[in-house]
Structure 1
Amino acid sequence: MAETAVKQEPTLALEDKIVLLCADNPKGINDDFIQKNEPDIEVQQRVAAINRLLTMGKIELLKSSNGLIYRLKCSSSASQVKGIDNQDRLVYQVIESAGSKGIWIRDIRHKCNLMLTEVNKILKNLEGKKLIKAVQSVAASKRKVYMLYNLEPDRSITGGAWYSGQDFESEFVEVLNQQCFKFLQQKEENAESETTLSPSLRHRSSYASLEEVLQFISDLGISKVKLQPEDIETILNTLIYDGKVEVFLAPSKNGIEKLYRSVRSFVDAADVTRAPCTVCPVFHKCLPGGVISPENCVYMTEWMEY
C-alpha cells in the first residue's frame, strides 16, 4: 500500500500543474506544451494524470487544426460554486475563462449581454464572496481586470519584478544592472588571471551563462521577489544595448545557449551614439596599436574640438 501511495503522489501533483497550465491558457494546451513545462515528468505519469483529469471532468479533450488539445472545463468549477444565481454564475464562467490575464468589465458586459449596473452588482457580490478579485493593470493605470481569486496575475498585468503596484522600480533595475555587469567583469578578470590555461580556454571561461548570472543575483539577496531567467535576460539585454556586454551563441545539450561577457570600451557608451565613429570609413582600423587609434583619430579630434 505504501508503495502504491508513493507512485500516485507525483501523478496527483502533476494533475494540479496541468490544471494551472490550462487555467493560464484558456484556449487549450497540448502534450508538447505540458512536456515543455514539466520536462522531468515521465510519459506514463503525464498520461495517467491527463486520463484522471478527463475522468473527473476537470478538463476536456478537443480537436484543433494543430491536433488534440486539453482545455479546462469552465462549467465544471462554476457549477460547484454555491450561493450564487445563474447570472452570477455566467459572469463567473466568463472571468474564469480569461485565466491569469483577467478580463476587463467592458468585455464581461459584451460576453454576458448585461447592463453595466447589473455587472457591477454581480462583480461586487463575487468579490465579497472571495470568488474573484480585481487587479490593477500596469499597462493602463485606470483599468482593472477581473480574475479568479486564487489565481496569480500574469506578468503582463503586474509588470513582473520591475513594478511595485503601479510604480516602476527604476532604482532596483539600476542596482541589478550594476551587479550583473560587475559579475561579468569579475568573471573576465578571473579568466585572465588563469595563466595555466591556454588563450582559447581563458577566453571561453570569461563568458557566463544566464543561469550563472541569475544564481549570482539570487545569492546576493537584493531582490524581494523571486527573479526569473527572463528578468535577468532583460537586464543583460540593456547592457548589450549600452555596449557593455556581448552575447555569444554556443551549442549545448538543450540546443543553443546564450553566453555573456563584459566588453572593455574605450569610449563611454553614451558618447558613441553622438560621436562620428558609426559613420567613420576607417572605423574597423581604429584599434589600440592599429593603423589608427582612438586617441589620434582625426575625425574624433575634430568632433571633440567642435
Structure 2
Amino acid sequence: MSSLKRKRADNDDEKKILAMILSKQGMGATPYDIKAATSIQGPLVTKALKSLKTKKLIKDIQNMNNKGIKHFFGFDVEPCKALTGGDWYTDGQLDLAKIEDLKKICVTILSKSKKKVVTFDLFVAYFEKTNNEMSREQTKEILKNLVLDNVVMEVKSNGMNEYAGIRIGEICYRLTGKKAGDGGEARAGAFASVPCGACPHIGLCSPGGAISPTTCSYFQKWLDF
C-alpha cells in the first residue's frame, strides 16, 4: 500500500510526531525521544502513536540490544542493522535454519569440487548466480562459522598441485574431514601441516623467484614427510 493511499495525520500532535519519526530515518525514535523533541505529554504521545500505526503511517520494532525499548519508523523505512540484529535476524530472532542451510551449501560446493579446494570468490560467484542475495560479507561470515566449527579450514594457495591456477597467497577453503554436527574429531590429514598456509612470505613466493618452493627448506621437509 503506497503512502498516498494511507490516511493522513489528523491533528498537530500526530503531524509533529510523524515528522519527528521520519526525520530519524533508519534509526527510528523511541517514545522518550519523541516526548523530548516535541514536548508533547506522554499520554498524548501514546495515543498519537497508536493512531499513526493504525493508519499504517508508522511501524515499530524492538531494539535487539534492549528488548524493552521500541523504536518507531516511517512505515516504508528500513530499520538499521544495529537495531534489528543484522542480516541473520528475522523478526528479531536469529534465523538458525537459514544459517545452517547456507553452511550446508558451502560444504556441498567444497565436496563436489574436483580439486577439493575453493577460493572465496568462487563461493561469492555461486551465490550471485543462484540469486541467493548473499553479500560478500555474509559469505565471509558463513565460511568463518564453518572454520570455527572445524568443518572447513582456511588455507593459502601455493600455486601448485590442487592450487594450480590460483594466485599464490590467495585465501582458499577446503574440508577438514569433519561433518557438520557429527560431533567427531576433525580429520585434517597431512596437508594441514603444509608450511605455506602459515608462511608470512607466501605473497612473495613464486617458482624461480628469490623465495620459491624449490629453495624453501620448510617446504622440502614437508615433502620428505
> Equivalences for 1:142-181 in 2 at 5 Å?
142-181=68-107
Query: In 1, are the aligned partners of 2:8 and 2:55 still within 8 Å (CA)?
Result: no
Q: Distance in 2 between matches of 1:97 and 1:263?
A: 49
Q: Judging changes above 3 Å, is the alpha-carbon distance between structure 1 residues 177 and 119 closer, same or farther for their aligned structure 2 residues? A: same
Bigger fraction of residues in helix: 1
SS at match of 2:19: helix
Of structures 1 and 2, the one scoring higher in RCO (CA 8 A, sep 6+) is 2
Q: Which residue of 1 aligns with 2:15?
A: 89
Match of 1:139 in 2: 65
Counterparts of 1:45-124 in structure 2, within 5 Å, are 83-124=9-50
What residue ranges of structure 1 are gaps of 5+ in the alignment?
Answer: 1-80, 193-205, 250-256, 271-283, 291-306
- Which residue does the alignment assign to 2:185? 268
Cα offsets for 1:154-200 (capped at 9, x unmatched): 3333334423323322233123223213313433xx237xxxxxxxx
Note closer, same or farther for the CA distance 1:238–1:287 as it changes in structure 2 (3 Å cut).
farther
Residues in 1 aligned to 2:9 and 2:176: alpha-carbon distance in whole angstroms: 66
Q: How does 1:207-226 map to 2 (within 5 A)?
A: 207-210=118-121, 212-217=122-127, 226=133
| Cα distance, 1:87–1:258 mapped onto 2, change above 3 Å | farther
Q: Which amino acid aligns with 1:245?
A: M
Matched, 1:237 2:144: yes
**How far apart are the structure 2 equivalents of 1:289 and 1:84?**
83
What corresponds to 2:55 in structure 1?
A: 129
TM-score (norm 2): 0.59
Q: Is the 8 A contact 1:181 1:245 kept in 2?
A: no
Q: Secondary structure at the match of 1:191?
A: coil
Query: Tell me, what secondary structure is at the counterpart of 1:227?
Result: coil
Unpaired runs of 5+ residues, structure 2, are: 1-6, 158-168, 179-183, 188-217
* Aligned alpha-carbon RMSD (Å): 3.7
How many residues align? The count is 170
Give the Cα–Cα distance (whole angstroms) in 2 for the partners of residues 95 and 150 of structure 1: 12
Q: Give the distance between the partners of 1:180 and 1:131, measured in 2 at CA.
A: 41
Normalization by structure 1: what TM-score? 0.45
Residue 133 of structure 1, CA deviation? 1.1
Q: 1:289 to 1:241 in 2, by over 3 A?
A: farther
Residue type of the alignment partner of 1:213: F
What is the SS of the residue equivalent to 1:143?
A: strand
